Amino acid sequence: MSRIGVFVCHCGENISRTVDVEKVAAAAARLSGVAYATDYKYMCSDPGQGLLKKAVAEHRLDGIVVAACSPRMHEKTFRNAAKSAGLNPFLCEMANIREHCSWVHEDREEATEKAISIVTMLVERVKKNRKLVPITVPITKRSLVIGGGIAGIQAALDIADAGHEVVLVEREPSIGGHMAQLSETFPTLDCSQCIMTPKMVDVANHPNIRLYTYSEIENVEGYIGNFQVTVRKKARSVDMDKCTGCGVCTAKCPQKKIPNSFDRDLGMRPAIYVPFPQAVPNTPVIDRANCTYFKTGKCGVCQKVCGPGAVDYEQQDELVVEPVGAIVVATGFELYDIGPKPAGSPYEGYGEFGYGTIPDVIDGLTFERLASASGPTGGKIVRPSDGKEPKQVVFIQCVGSRAREKGISYCSKICCMYTAKHTMLYHHKVHDGQAYVFFMDARTPGKNYDEFWRRSIEEEEAVYIRGMVSRLYQKGDKVVVMGSDVLVGVQVEIEADLVVLATAVQARTGADSLAQKLGISYDKYNFYSEAHAKLKPVECATAGIYLAGACQGPKDIPDTVSQASAAAAKVMTLFAKAELEREPIVAKVNERNCVACFYCKKVCPYGAVEEKEIRDRNGNLIRVVAYVNPGVCGGCGTCQATCPSKSVELDGYTDEQVIAMIDAL
Amino acid sequence: MHAEKVKHDFEPKIVAFVCTWCTYAGADLAGTSRMQYPSNVRVVKFPCTGRIDPVFILRAFQKGADGILVSGCHPGDCHYMAGNFHARRRFAAFRKLLEFVGVDLARLQFSWVSAAEGGKWVEVVTELTERIRAMGPLEEFKELELEECWSGKIDTPELQEAYKAIP
């Protein structure tokens, strides 16, 4: 026979106004198994909790129902009170008679009746509750950071500075990401290289950071605190330990006419190359697809000229397994290619504005390379077609963004600001030039952002035309841009020398396949989903995986750095504990009943179900049953509802508990 | 400004099986926003709609529920990634079975109510309550409950025929 205590809260007047709390307590006292029932003005207050603890001791209670507010509000409070009274916290339940009763009903009689019935259901449930013990799992205090852009670099440095080892994996031959490609950054116009490269060097020199460049994530197994990550180190064809970074090989390589993707194909690079002079690590890579030796077997110049003998044509891809406890995903973004549809892209090509067909129509990142002092033109702004200085430049915003009919309905967030920056950079370099901007809205929220945008108009003489471009075509060596100025209500036609498109920010191609490896969710645009839009902006729903930067959605540098540091803080919070403690709401398998159909394994969203072999004392296999790894189980209970033999049970939500509640209707 | 309460001859029992992350939170929001809805509904909380076994629905009908609501997160919003998809699929099949057994499907409603949709929760509960009130009590299952089990009492021609057909 149970000895349950029922505590009915008045919540000041919030409950007692519509619910006759004394009547509820009296009715509860008559229920079988209830040893004590009372009501109190504020159960959650210190005296209220004291009352509860006293009653547990005096009446030897073995279960508690607190009829008060929503368990989402105070379940933890009362479970802690129960714990300090010496009771297992999971023997305490809350009956929600405020949000689900007193606040939503006016009729006192009806509300009281409903409150009694809710309390009855919970009393029946508590009778079937079991003592549960929080689960502890060990933590590997190393972290994986995927992506070596500014987000990954910031997160890696923060975690490493806290004294934890970090494995930083970057797909490209050098870290740096998009930020290394930028010229100057808004709203302060400080040079991107100047603030970025010291951080890159810090990463390379940090004793706690293990850097894998030119590497990709092959496979991820395990769960929070205990991931096993397989990293594929792609063959660089250069021995990183031997190479001194002298650069003779790149200078002597006879194959020099390969478009440099770092410079948005404006410049050329050799087949053995470092993507840019400040690259970290400063070790070249052989582009095997374009190398004469790999194509024909003849050449070998780089190997001959290499003093330390670092060039190794036989190098193979290498797989490394790294045990880590937490993962920060910082894979960044890609620009919407508005030419013809790129292979593998989920989006249709934009097919407008002449990008890819008219040489003097470029995107924003290409303009960054033109304006960058370390870029292919040394910072001189010229037209790609004939190398002349453009005197009239048209910038078009929202190309691809906010275009539902083109498949992207979101705002890319950074374009208004970087276009304003571009007009300034252009005006600084071409004093007699004129910049025009076609825009839909100027969205400039952020510290000093709107002032920056105003400055581009008021001081740097950019002409902003509100309206979209209707047509764009080549006429002689000019590009004619036709559009409408909707504020004035006239048609506008500008003969431009150069057109810069602020193309949409979109998720990386292949973001979805990485998400599937990691077991994290992503939205319809392939941006990774945070666990809660407001309250858990850096956590994934999958425990132990955190997000930083534009892989979660379009972001500027300050937001990216903030989120990266936030993700690092979350990792450090996790690593601050010796062991991981979590709610024991997990599924358990009754091995005697399990028929090994493994339907549970098929439906489990966490991959928590494993196949367990039962052997006799001689080691002979008797049978295979399902086993739920409590560290991985998220506690959704889908397995239990699916199990045909009813041999898996979710603690805290067992069939017994649910049926007891239904039967108490 | 309280509307005069209308007394009805029949007050249905409604059971709502909801997930804790979306619909339970949505119902909480209806409370904190002080919205009003009929008091007929009793909420049973689950971690996820994926946990809801169709047996619970049958049991609730058997124990006197006149209408049942199953509600969880919108597709794609599941806290457990895919639980609501499993639930949706499971109940699509279950509805067919229920219809075959002879339960009017209007008594069983599925909906998606997110944590931000207090208003939708009120709407769904009010509509369902009014619909069931108009339909009247679900007698068939209650009779079964009274008889405990069939105990060989085959009193309709259809059941007799079905009984004979058993090899």
Dump pLDDT digits (tens) for B72-129.
Answer: 988 877 778 788 899 999 999 999 988 888 888 999 999 999 877 889 999 999 999 9
Three-state SS across A406-428?
HCECCCCCCHHHHHHHHHHHHHH
- Closest partner residue to B46 among A71, A121, A637, by Cβ? A637
Q: How confident is the model at residue B145 (pLDDT cuts 50, 70, 90)?
A: low
**Distance (Å, whole) CA A3 – CA A61:** 5
The reply to whether residue A662 touches residue B31, judged by beta carbons under 8 angstroms, is: no
The reply to whether residue A121 touches residue B31, judged by beta carbons under 8 angstroms, is: no
The reply to whether residue B15 touches residue A605, judged by beta carbons under 8 angstroms, is: no
The reply to whether residue B39 touches residue A114, judged by beta carbons under 8 angstroms, is: yes
pLDDT of residue A345: 54
**Distance (Å, whole) CA A472 – CA A499:** 9
**Domain range spanning residue B39?**
14-137
Q: Under a CB-based contact definition with an 8 Å cutoff, are residues B18 and B45 in contact?
A: yes
User: Which chain B residues are Cβ-neighbours of A121 within 8 angstroms?
Assistant: 42, 44
Using CA coordinates, name the residue in chain B closest to A111.
B39
pLDDT at B3 over 60: no
**Distance (Å, whole) CA A180 – CA A622:** 59
| Phi, psi (rounded to 5 degrees) for A63 | -170, 150
Residue found by looking up tokens 């809350």 in the block: A94
Question: pTM of this prediction?
Answer: 0.72
The reply to whether residue B51 touches residue A638, judged by beta carbons under 8 angstroms, is: yes
Taking chain A (665 residues) in runs of 10, the rounded mean pLDDT of each run is: 92 94 95 94 94 94 94 90 94 95 94 95 94 89 96 97 97 95 93 92 96 94 88 95 92 91 90 92 94 92 93 94 96 84 56 81 93 91 93 94 85 95 95 95 94 95 93 92 94 95 92 85 84 83 90 96 97 92 88 92 89 92 92 88 92 93 90
The reply to whether residue B31 touches residue A642, judged by beta carbons under 8 angstroms, is: no
Number of domains in chain B: 1
Structure tokens at A118: 């809710």
- Whether residue B111 lies inside any domain: the answer is yes
Instruction: Tell me the ipTM for this assembly.
Output: 0.86
- Whether residue B62 lies inside any domain: the answer is yes
Per the document, the length of chain A is 665
Using CA coordinates, name the residue in chain A closest to B48.
A636
Q: Under a CB-based contact definition with an 8 Å cutoff, are residues A67 and A24 in contact?
A: yes
* CA proximity to A111, closest of B37, B32, B28: B37
The reply to whether residue A101 touches residue B39, judged by beta carbons under 8 angstroms, is: yes
Q: pLDDT digits over A618-654, tens only? A: 999 999 999 998 878 888 999 999 999 999 999 999 9
- Whether residue B98 lies inside any domain: the answer is yes
pLDDT of residue B154: 62
pLDDT of residue B144: 63
Residues 6 or more apart whose Cβ sits within 8 Å of residue B60: A662, A665, B15, B68
* CA proximity to A495, closest of A392, A390, A354, A387: A392
The reply to whether residue A636 touches residue B48, judged by beta carbons under 8 angstroms, is: yes
Three-state SS across A316-363?
CCEEEEEEECEEEECCCEEECCCCCCCCCCCCCCCCCCCCCCCCCEEE
**Distance (Å, whole) CA A379 – CA A373:** 4
Q: pLDDT digits over A173-209, tens only? A: 999 999 999 999 999 999 998 999 999 999 999 999 9
Q: How far is CA A19 from CA A11, A119, A422, A593, B74, in A?
A: 11, 12, 65, 46, 33
Best of B2, B7, B48 to disrupt the A interface (most A CBs within 10 Å) is: B48
Secondary structure class of B120 (helix, strand, coil): helix
Residues 6 or more apart whose Cβ sits within 8 Å of residue A37: A5, A6, A7, A8, A25, A26, A28, A29
- Closest partner residue to B35 among A71, A104, A107, by Cβ? A104
User: Which chain B residues are Cβ-neighbours of A105 within 8 angstroms?
Assistant: 36-37, 39
* CA proximity to A146, closest of A513, A514, A510: A514
* CA proximity to B55, closest of B74, B71, B68: B68
- Whether residue B2 lies inside any domain: the answer is no
- Domains of chain A from N-terminus onward: 4-128 (3.40.50), 135-217+317-332+508-579 (3.50.50.60), 235-316 (no CATH), 338-504 (3.50.50.60), 587-663 (3.30.70.20)
- Residue ranges in A212-319 assigned as alpha helix (H): 248-252, 292-296, 301-305
- Whether residue B113 lies inside any domain: the answer is yes
For A611, other C-beta atoms within 10 Å of its C-beta total: 11
pLDDT of residue A626: 94
Structure tokens at B42: 């009793």
Distance between A82 CA and the closest CA of chain B, angstroms: 21
Distance between B32 CA and the closest CA of chain A, angstroms: 6
Using CA coordinates, name the residue in chain B closest to A519.
B81
DSSP per-residue codes, B3-62: PPPPP-S----EEEEEETTTHHHHHHHHHHTT----TTEEEEEES-GGG--HHHHHHHHH
Q: How confident is the model at residue B143 (pLDDT cuts 50, 70, 90)?
A: low
**Distance (Å, whole) CA A188 – CA A476:** 38
| Greatest extent of chain A over all pairs of C-alpha atoms, in Å | 96
Best of A104, A124, A521 to disrupt the B interface (most B CBs within 10 Å) is: A104
- Whether residue B51 lies inside any domain: the answer is yes
Amino acid at A567: A
pLDDT of residue B1: 41
What is the domain-level CATH number for residue B81?
3.40.50
| Greatest extent of chain B over all pairs of C-alpha atoms, in Å | 66
- Whether residue B160 lies inside any domain: the answer is no
* CA proximity to A236, closest of A144, A167, A314, A290: A314
pLDDT of residue A557: 96
The reply to whether residue A605 touches residue B83, judged by beta carbons under 8 angstroms, is: yes
User: Which chain B residues are Cβ-neighbours of A605 within 8 angstroms?
Assistant: 80-83
For A593, other C-beta atoms within 10 Å of its C-beta total: 12
* CA proximity to A612, closest of A590, A634, A633, A640: A590
**Distance (Å, whole) CA A265 – CA A259:** 5
- Whether residue B148 lies inside any domain: the answer is no
The reply to whether residue A665 touches residue B63, judged by beta carbons under 8 angstroms, is: yes
